[in-house]
Each structure stands twice: as structure tokens, then as C-alpha cells.
């Protein structure tokens, strides 16, 4: 199970239930790509579909039979329909971790297929310009293919790349970044640095957020299978901290023993909706939050007593109340049932006190590496004014503050702003201030008041920056712009806008924040001409 973090009031957008949004921001408007001729990789891919791939016939026995690869393909792309069986050569790994090949000039997306493999697949979806297909057999196997260590890997949907060696994962993520800039920004020779990976790409997550359900008389907790609402029970997740795994198992057992009702989305009956457990790597303590559909939890006294008895590392037992029927995970009200109000954590030399709903990076080890690159891109001397747009709980701004004259952070979510201020106090940072609001509104207001930012940092949700914010940044005329992104496609589109407005792209640094998944983080350094 690998998930990306949720900010307060985040909507779930994938099987993982997590995504890189800081809250319910408006969806960024589509940004048109620059008009230019098809890039070299696009032209190559269009020519490189399997030369002999074709729709299969059915044998007299009723079993599907694939046409010999010596046969010539016949018919047009429009003849392909759901249920057809095709042979495809995989050309690359797509942004969602699927294998991408071509069949009769249509892109084919096949989950579980690897680059350079020849696979047999069953068509599951037909669109005018692309197909989705289900992998049925690997005819030519890639040397990068491995057996996933997770027993529920194919069902869970949280990870997408466990069937690939870690070295191949890193290569694929670099290629995804290059192809995104080539496709959406027209940049053929991207100044990209080697991706920063992990020495041990397992058990890196410090937080689990699992939906609850029933399986017979047993309470289960897990993620929804990709593209469905079928809950997959998760035990011993291979990318989760082992302590968090242990806490989840014990809590499920305690809830089952006490017969605490589990919430049913269809009937809207029951109590427990979601279990959230987060470990503070610095303290070794665990913050446990039960998200409920009711104000009260039955037998709550015994519940707290048993958790405390069986899980001595738990320092906080909290209840978050979320009564509404929605895809939001957290509600507005949180009650501490027992223990500390906040979880102590550290990132480098910074100290944090995290409330149950507070955002904090899921992979602290890689976060330090990423933020060090942000600091390098900012190129601070001690005299700069830094504006940190989409600042969240202030982690990037606080990381830069010791080397800056002043840091101003902007965040839409009120709770995150309060956490950022508390984090500044906890770390003894006095030159960082955090403001609630839209960055695309506050930045122009500050510029009108005479503010001249030297460096602007953006770390937007997966949808990318608001177009109005990009325009505000251009008008503010900072010397440097640091763009942190979790989506190479929207990153490249936004960079194209900035390059057209006079910025120069110095370098792109990919960082593997979530091994075993298709996600790749990037830090981009841009300077104004």
C-alpha cells in the first residue's frame, strides 16, 4: 500500500485514497501546450507498434487464439472492440505506471506490462485515440520483472511498480519526467539531474489511513481496489512503517472484540469510518485517530483502555467526527479521547508538533533530500525575501528561513496556517510569517504595497498552479522561482507558460518520494532573464 498524503479536507481521487492536494482548491484550468511539431519520442512511438499485432480469432475449442506474429495485420483501428485479444510491444512506462504500446496507431495502456516486453492482452476499453487492455500473458519477459513481495499487490492498487526492479523504477521515473517536458513544453534536451532514490525503498511511510469494512464477523481496514469500491484488507504493508502496521492490526482486533459498529456507506449506519495511525520517527510514538460518523463511540472507555494496554507506543487517541456523506476523509471536529494533543516530530533541525489533521510529509528521509534541493535552487544569501505559495504547514518555508531575511507563506486551509505558525514557534524561527488565503490574490496585493520578492516557491497540488498565480508571479518579477511538483505533466505545462514569460529553466531534480509507486516528485530551478 502506497499513498500520497492528504491535506485537510482532501477529496480522495484514486484507489489509494490520497493525493497531493493541500485542500479543496479550485481545479486548475487546462493550460494549452505550445504549438510545435510532434516530438521525436512521439514520432518513434507511433511507428513502433508491434508489426504483426492483430486481433485474435476464436479456436474451435472456444479458447482465444492469437494470430501468428508472421501474419499481416488487417483492418483499421476502428475495428478494435472490447474483448478483442491483441499482441503489443511495450515502448515505455506511462505516468500511472502502466505499460504503453501501440496497436494500429492507437496507444494501448496495459497495467502490469514492462518496457520492451511483448505481451498478450484483452481489450477492456476503446476510445478514439487509445485503448485500455488487461494483461493476459507475457510472451517476451523483461529482465527487470520481479515477483512483488506484497501478497495483495495486484488487488490493492496502492502500489503500481512492485513488479519492477528498483533500478528500473528509477529509470522509468526519469523517463516520465523527460517525456512530460518533451510532450508538453517542447523541450528536447531537458537539463535533468539523476533521480535521487532510496537505499532501502521499503517501509518508508510514516502514516496509514485505511477505510473500514466487514468481512464476515471480522472488521477489516484497507484501500479500495483500483477503479472500484471493493475494499481490500491490508495487513503487513510492505511500504508502511512496521510499527504502524502493528497498530492497525491491534486496533482492528480490538474493534472486533468490542463489537464497535463499522460505518456502512449504503445504509449510513454504524460508527467507525476510517482508522488513521501516524508514527513520529523522532519520538517513536504513535498518534491514533478514529474517524467516526457519530458524535459518540459505544463502549469508548473500554476501547481506550484496551488500546493503551496493548499498544504502549500510542501517545494520542483521537476521534474525528465526520457525519456528512462525502468523499472527504476528515470532518471539522476532532476530540482527544486520551493522551497528548500533538505528536512530536523532527525534520532535519526543525521541530514539529502535529495535530491529528495536520499535514506532514509521508517519507521524512526523502523529504530532507528534496528540501535540500529546494534550498539549493533558492540560492539564498541571507538578504532575500521568500514567498512560499501553497505553503501547507510551513515545512519548506521553515527549511529556507535560516538562510533568508524573511519568509512569507500563503495557504488556503486555516488549520494548516495555524500549524505552520505553531511549527515556527516550536523550531524557534522568528523570520517566517504565514497567511491564510489564495496565493494568486495575496501576492498581487503585496506587490501593490511595494513588496518585492526575491524568491518565490510553489508546491501546488497535482492539478498544478492556478493560471492567475503564474501571471502574478511573472508580474512580481522574482529573481528566482523554485517549483516543487508531484505531477510531471502539469509541471511541464506550467513551466512552458513561465518560459514563454521570460524565465530560464536551470535544472530539474527528480526525487523518488514514493518507491514502488508511479509517483515522482521534482524540484525545478528557474531564473528570470
Show Cβ contacts of residue 407 under 8 Å, excluding neighbours closer than 6 positions: 386, 387, 388, 397, 398, 400, 401, 431, 432, 433
* Closest by CA position to 105, among listed 84, 87, 126, 130: 130
Show Cβ contacts of residue 242 under 8 Å, excluding neighbours closer than 6 positions: 203
Whether 107 contacts 130, CB under 8 Å:
yes
Distance CA 310, CA 247 (A): 9
Neighbouring C-alpha atoms within 13 Å toward the C-beta of 215: 13
Distance CA 332, CA 237 (A): 29
Is 411 flagged in the annotation as binding? yes
Q: Annotate 431-448 with three-state secondary structure.
A: CEEEEECCHHHHHHHHHH
Distance CA 7, CA 21 (A): 6
Q: What angle do CA 49, 145, 18 make, to 5 degrees?
A: 90
Pairing of strands 432-436, 406-411: parallel
Show Cβ contacts of residue 400 under 8 Å, excluding neighbours closer than 6 positions: 374, 375, 378, 380, 386, 388, 407, 455, 457
Is 264 flagged in the annotation as binding? no
Neighbouring C-alpha atoms within 13 Å toward the C-beta of 467: 8
Is 390 flagged in the annotation as binding? yes
Distance CA 264, CA 272 (A): 9
- The DSSP H or E segment spanning 295 is none
For residue 465, indicate whether it is catalytic.
no
Is 24 flagged in the annotation as binding? no
Distance CA 242, CA 154 (A): 21
Distance CA 290, CA 277 (A): 9
Q: How far is residue 521 from each of residues 81, 107, 309, 461, measured CA to CA in Å? A: 36, 25, 40, 12
Query: Residue 352, class by beta-carbon neighbours within 10 Å (0-12 exposed, 13-18 middle, 19+ buried)?
Result: buried
Query: Residue 101, class by beta-carbon neighbours within 10 Å (0-12 exposed, 13-18 middle, 19+ buried)?
Result: buried
Q: What angle do CA 239, 148, 49 make, to 5 degrees?
A: 115
Pairing of strands 218-224, 130-140: unpaired
Catalytic one among 156, 237, 486, 495?
486
Show Cβ contacts of residue 80 under 8 Å, excluding neighbours closer than 6 positions: 55, 86, 103, 104, 106, 123, 126, 131
Q: Enumerate the H helices of 258-298 as residue ranges.
A: none
Distance CA 328, CA 330 (A): 6
Q: Which residues are annotated as a binding site?
A: 361, 390, 411, 459
- Give me the active site residues, please: 486
Q: Which residues are annotated as a binding site for S-adenosyl-L-methionine?
A: 361, 390, 411, 459
Amino acid at each position: 500500500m502506497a499513498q500520497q498524503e492528504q491535506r485537510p479536507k482532501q477529496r480522495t481521487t484514486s484507489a489509494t485514497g490520497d493525493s497531493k492536494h493541500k485542500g479543496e482548491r479550485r481545479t486548475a484550468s487546462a493550460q494549452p501546450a505550445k504549438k510545435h511539431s510532434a516530438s521525436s519520442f512521439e514520432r518513434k512511438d507511433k511507428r513502433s507498434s508491434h508489426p504483426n499485432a492483430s486481433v485474435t480469432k476464436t479456436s474451435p475449442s472456444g479458447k482465444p487464439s492469437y494470430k501468428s506474429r508472421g501474419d499481416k495485420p488487417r483492418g483499421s483501428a476502428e475495428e478494435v472492440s472490447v474483448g478483442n485479444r491483441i499482441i503489443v510491444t511495450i515502448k515505455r512506462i506511462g505516468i500511472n505506471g502502466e505499460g504503453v504500446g501501440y496497436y494500429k496507431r492507437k496507444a494501448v495502456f496495459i497495467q502490469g506490462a514492462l518496457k520492451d516486453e511483448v505481451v498478450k492482452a484483452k481489450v477492456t476499453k476503446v476510445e478514439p485515440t487509445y485503448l485500455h487492455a488487461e494483461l493476459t500473458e507475457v510472451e517476451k519477459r523483461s529482465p527487470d520483472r520481479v515477483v512483488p513481495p506484497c501478497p495483495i499487490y495486484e488487488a490493492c492498487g496502492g502500489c503500481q511498480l512492485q513488479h519492477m526492479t528498483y533500478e528500473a523504477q528509477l529509470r522509468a521515473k526519469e523517463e516520465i519526467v523527460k517525456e512530460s517536458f518533451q510532450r508538453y513544453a517542447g523541450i528536447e534536451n531537458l537539463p535533468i539531474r539523476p533521480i535521487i532514490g532510496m537505499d532501502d525503498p521499503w517501509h518508508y511511510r510514516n502514516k496509514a489511513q485505511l477505510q473500514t469494512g466487514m468481512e464476515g464477523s471480522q472488521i477489516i481496514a484497507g484501500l479500495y481496489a483500483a477503479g472500484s469500491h471493493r475494499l481490500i484488507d491490508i495487513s503487513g504493508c510492505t511500504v508502511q512503517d512496521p510499527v504502524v502496521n502493528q497498530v492497525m492490526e491491534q486496533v482492528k482486533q480490538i474493534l472486533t472484540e468490542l463489537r464497535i459498529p463499522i460505518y456502512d456507506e449504503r445504509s449510513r449506519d454504524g460508527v467507525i469510518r476510517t482508522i488513521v495511525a501516524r508514527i513520529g520517527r523522532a519520538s517513536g510514538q504513535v498518534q491514533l485517530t478514529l474517524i467516526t460518523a457519530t458524535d459518540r463511540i459505544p463502549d469508548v472507555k473500554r476501547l481506550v483502555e484496551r488500546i493503551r494496554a496493548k499498544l504502549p507506543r500510542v501517545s494520542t487517541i483521537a476521534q474525528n467526527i465526520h457525519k456528512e456523506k462525502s468523499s472527504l476523509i476528515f470532518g471539522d471536529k476532532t476530540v482527544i479521547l486520551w493522551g497528548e494533543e500533538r505528536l512530536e516530530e523532527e525534520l532535519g533541525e526543525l521541530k514539529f508538533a502535529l495535530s491529528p489533521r495536520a499535514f506532514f510529509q509521508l517519507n521524512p528521509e526523502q523529504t530532507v533530500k528534496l528540501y535540500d534541493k529546494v534550498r539549493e535552487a533558492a540560492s539564498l544569501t541571507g538578504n532575500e525575501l521568500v514567498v512560499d505559495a501553497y505553503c501547507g504547514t510551513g515545512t519548506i518555508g521553515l527549511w529556507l528561513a535560516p538562510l533568508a531575511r524573511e519568509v512569507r507563506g500563503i495557504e488556503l486551509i486555516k488549520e494548516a496556517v495555524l500549524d505552520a505558525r505553531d511549527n515556527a514557534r516550536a523550531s524557534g524561527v522568528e523570520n517566517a510569517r504565514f497567511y491564510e488565503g489564495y496565493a494568486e490574490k495575496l501576492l498581487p496585493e503585496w506587490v501593490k504595497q511595494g513588496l518585492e520578492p526575491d524568491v518565490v516557491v510553489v508546491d501546488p497540488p497535482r492539478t498544478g498552479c492556478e493560471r492567475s498565480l503564474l501571471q502574478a508571479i511573472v508580474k512580481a518579477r522574482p529573481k528566482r522561482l523554485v517549483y516543487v511538483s508531484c505531477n510531471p505533466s502539469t509541471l511541464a505545462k506550467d513551466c512552458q507558460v513561465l518560459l514563454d514569460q521570460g524565465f530560464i529553466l536551470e535544472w530539474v531534480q527528480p526525487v523518488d518520494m514514493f518507491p514502488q509507486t508511479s509517483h515522482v516528485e521534482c524540484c525545478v530551478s528557474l531564473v528570470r532573464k
